[in-house]
Amino acid sequence: MFRRSIPFGAMLAGLTAVGLFGGAPAQAASVSVSQSGAVAAGQSISVSVSGLAPDLASVAVGQCKAQISGPADCNLGGSLLGTADDQGNWYPGSVTLVGSVGGVDCTAFAGACVIAVTSLTDPNNILASVPLSFG
């Protein structure tokens, strides 16, 4: 039986090239909400997400301040957690809005707060968001 040996460095370089340059580009995730303008604290809005990686685990959806740098920047108590299906969709859920998040008054100006999507497998990577306008 003939075996071909590939040096580890060459194999690693090839895999890196495929990871950086090969394959089809991933579809960007998008979040849809039932209402984003003229919302109010205490109001529930429906949220759905599409374009995620198939079967992406620990998808978190919730209200956050616009500039997210960590978990304290989101209303964790009102956030939703689930898994994307095999088509990359996260099925609708309801988020109840609050007036302030992470020290930011969401009612102060349009876009002060957002509905944001991430995966807890990489929580610093915000996959999609939509700005909210209270009033």
pLDDT tens digits, 45-70: 999 999 999 999 999 999 999 999 98
* Bridge pairing between strands 37-39 and 133-134: parallel
Tens of pLDDT, residues 108-132: 999 999 999 999 999 889 999 999 9
Domains of the chain, CATH where assigned: 30-132 (2.60.40.230)
Contacting residues for 112 by C-beta, under 8 A, at least 6 apart: 65, 66, 104, 105, 106, 132, 134
Query: What is the pTM assigned to this prediction?
Result: 0.79
